[in-house]
A and B are shown apart, each in its own frame.
Chain A
Amino acid sequence: MKIAKFILAAALLGGMSVQLTSCSDDDTPVAYYPVSVTVNLPEEITSATILDEEYLFKNVSTNEVKRFTSAADIELTEGLYDITYTAHVLMANGVETTMRAMSQSVRITSGENAVNLTAYNTIEADDLIIAEVFNTGTTNATGAQNRDSYIKLYNNTDKVIYADGLTLFESDFSTIQKYDYTPDVMPTHVVVRTLFTVPGDGTRFPVQPGEYFLMCDRANRASENSFDLTHADVEWYDESQVASQQDTDNPDVPNMDKVFSYSRSITILDQSQRAFGIARLGVSAEQFLEDYAYTATYDLVTAAGAFTMTKKDCYKLPNEWVVDVVNISPRDNYVWNVTSPALDCGWSYVAQNSSDKTRFFKGIRRKMLYLNEAGNPVFKDTNNSTEDFNARVTPSEIELQGTAIDADGTPCTTRTYDGVTPIK
Chain B
Amino acid sequence: MALAVAAPASGLEADTAAVVTVAQRIARHSDMMRTMAREAYDNPAVRQWEQPYDYSAISADYDYSGGNRAVDVQRGKGSAAWGFTADSCIKHKSSTLWGSASYRNGRRRGVCWNESSDADMIYPYFTADSIGGDMRMETYSFAGGYADHNDRWAWGASASYDAGLYYRNVDPRPRNTTGRLDIAAGGAVRIGNSDYHAGISAGYRKYKQSCDIEFVNELSDNRIWHLTGLGTHYERFAGLGYSHYYNGHRWGATANLFPSSRRGAVASVEVTSFRFDHILTALNKLPLQSATDNRLSASAGWLAPGRVHDFAATVSLTHGKRIGSENIFGDPAASIYPQLGSLSLYRHIVTEAGVNLLWQWRPERSALLSVNPRVEWNRSDESYADPHRRLLLSSVAPAITVKGARTIGGAWHAAVSVDVACTLPVDNICELPYNGSIPAGMQSTDIRRYDILSRSHTLAGVRADISRAVSDRYALGISVSYFRSSYTQGVHADCVDASLSFIF
A300 beta carbon closer than 8 Å to chain B? yes
Which of B2-10, B20-28, B107-115, B191-199 forms contacts with chain A? B191-199
CA of A177 to CA of B219 in the docked complex: distance in angstroms?
Answer: 25
Interface centre among A301, A302, A332 (most CB of B within 10 A): A332
B303 CB to nearest chain A CB (Å): 16
Interface residues of B in 324-357 (CB under 8 A from A): 326, 328-336, 340-341, 343-345, 347, 349
Stretch of B79-87, B233-241, B480-488 with 4 or more beta carbons under 8 angstroms from chain A? B233-241
Chain B residues, Cβ within 8 Å of A2: 191-192, 198
Say whether B295 faces chain A, with CB atoms less than 8 Å apart: yes
**CB within 8 Å of A: which of B250-300?**
253, 255, 257, 267, 269, 271, 273, 284, 294-296, 298
* B340 contact from A16, A21, A80, A355, Cβ within 8 A: A80
With both beta carbons as reference points, the residue of chain A lying nearest to B239 in the complex is identified as A332
Residues of B within 8 A of A20 (CB): 271, 273, 294, 296
Verify if A23 is at the interface (C-beta below 8 Å from B).
Answer: yes
Pairwise interchain contact A80-B328, C-beta atoms closer than 8 A: yes
Chain A proximity of B42: nearest CB distance (Å): 14
Stretch at the interface among A5-13, A119-127, A220-228: A5-13
With A6-B191, A20-B296 given, is the CB distance from A30 to B240 under 8 Å? no
Check: A204 CB closer than 8 A to any chain B CB.
no
Within 8 A of B (CB), among A1-38: 2-3, 6-7, 9-10, 13-14, 16-18, 20-23, 28-30
Interface flag for B386 (CB, 8 Å): yes
Count A-side interface residues using an 8 Å CB cutoff: 50
Is B373 part of the binding interface, using a Cβ–Cβ cutoff of 8 Å? Answer: no
Separation in Å of the B162 CB from the closest CB of chain A? Answer: 25
Minimum C-beta distance from A145 to chain B (A): 14
Nearest B residue to A358, CB-CB: B219
Q: Does A372 contact B (CB under 8 A)?
A: no
A30 touches B296 (CB 8 A): no
Q: Convert A325-357 into 0s and 1s, putting 1 for each residue whose CB lies closer than 8 angstroms to a CB of B.
A: 000000111011000000000000000110111
Q: Are B257 and A6 in contact (CB under 8 A)?
A: yes
Q: With A and B bound together, what is the CA distance between A345 and B234 in angstroms?
A: 23
Interface size, chain B (Cβ < 8 Å) = 54
Flag whether B387 is at the interface (Cβ < 8 A). Answer: yes
Tell yes or no: A43 within 8 A of B by CB: no
A107 to B328, CA, bound (A): 10
Q: Does A87 contact B (CB under 8 A)?
A: no
Tell whether, in the assembled complex, residue A331 and residue B333 are in contact, meaning their CB atoms are under 8 Å apart. Answer: no
User: Would B257 and A62 count as touching, CB distance under 8 A?
Assistant: no
Write the nearest CB–CB distance from B60 to chain A, whole angstroms: 41
Measured CA separation A80–B223 after assembly (Å): 23
**From A16, A28, A80, A180, contact of B271 by CB (8 A):** A16
What is the CB-to-nearest-CB distance from B130 to chain A, in angstroms, rounded to a whole number?
13
A203 within 8 Å of B by Cβ? no
Chain A residues closer than 8 Å to B191, beta-carbon distance: 2-3, 6
Which one of B295, B328, B349, B437 lies within 8 Å of A63 (CB-CB)?
B437
Given contacts A13-B253, A23-B321, A358-B218, contact A336 B331 (CB under 8 A): yes
- Measured CB to CB, the nearest residue on chain A to B293 is A21
Do A180 and B437 have beta carbons less than 8 Å apart?
A: no
Task: Tell me if B319 and A29 are in contact (CB < 8 A).
Answer: no
The residues of A that contact B334 with a CB separation of less than 8 Å are 177, 179, 299-302
Residue from B198, B238, B320 within 8 A of A21 (CB atoms): B320
CB within 8 A of B332: which of A14, A21, A335, A357?
A335
Instruction: Provide the bound-state CA to CA distance between A78 and B345, in Å.
Output: 11
Q: Which of A30, A62, A301 contacts B336 (CB 8 A)?
A: A301
21 contacts between A and B (CB under 8 A): A3-B257, A7-B267, A10-B257, A16-B271, A23-B321, A61-B328, A61-B329, A62-B228, A63-B437, A77-B386, A107-B340, A179-B333, A299-B333, A301-B336, A302-B334, A332-B223, A335-B331, A352-B223, A353-B222, A357-B218, A357-B219
Further contacts, 11 of them, CB under 8 A, given A20-B296, A62-B236, A303-B284: A30-B343, A61-B235, A61-B326, A62-B228, A63-B437, A78-B328, A79-B328, A109-B341, A177-B334, A335-B331, A357-B219
Instruction: Sort A-B residue pairs by CB-CB distance and give the 10 closest, nearest first.
Output: A332-B239, A63-B235, A17-B296, A357-B218, A17-B271, A301-B334, A6-B198, A30-B385, A21-B294, A10-B255
